[in-house]
Amino acid sequence: MARRKRLHHHVYVVELSKDVLLERKFRRCNPGYVDGKPCVYVGMTGLDPDVRFDKHMAGIQANAYVTRYGLRLLPDLFEGFNPMSYEDAQAREVEIGIDLRSAGFGVWQA
């Protein structure tokens, strides 16, 4: 009998403060950034995105940019995709990052 994939993984997008643009590494990784566009972190998790965001902000298994510059989740950019399998979440995380970068956003991904 074929094993069913569990659909409990999520992609999420966190808005970052514009102060992240003061980080040389962030700027270097976003040469196509358009002034005025949002800066974001794109991630994936097996947790609810709200819980994962809270963990970032508490410094638990956190990305430093989210801990320092995280403002809020941007559910309009990810809610329609969730939940999904682990493999689909991995692929969707990359796709969202590419799409947002091509739209001029500043993007950081783990």
Contact between 92 and 84 (Cβ < 8 Å)? yes
Strands 70-73 and 39-45, bridge-based pairing: unpaired
Please state, in angstroms and as integers, the Cα–Cα distance from residue 14 to each residue in 31, 34, 102, following that order: 20, 18, 17
- Average pLDDT (70-78) is 97
Distance CA 63, CA 74 (A): 17
**pLDDT at residue 38 greater than cutoff 70:** yes
Contact between 109 and 97 (Cβ < 8 Å)? yes
Grade residue 43 by pLDDT with cuts at 50, 70 and 90: very high
What pLDDT score was predicted for residue 110? 79
pTM confidence score: 0.92
**pLDDT at residue 33 greater than cutoff 80:** yes
The CA-based dihedral angle spanning residues 68, 16, 75, 48, taken in that order and rounded to the nearest 10 degrees: -20
Joined together, the tokens standing for residue 39 give 């800066």
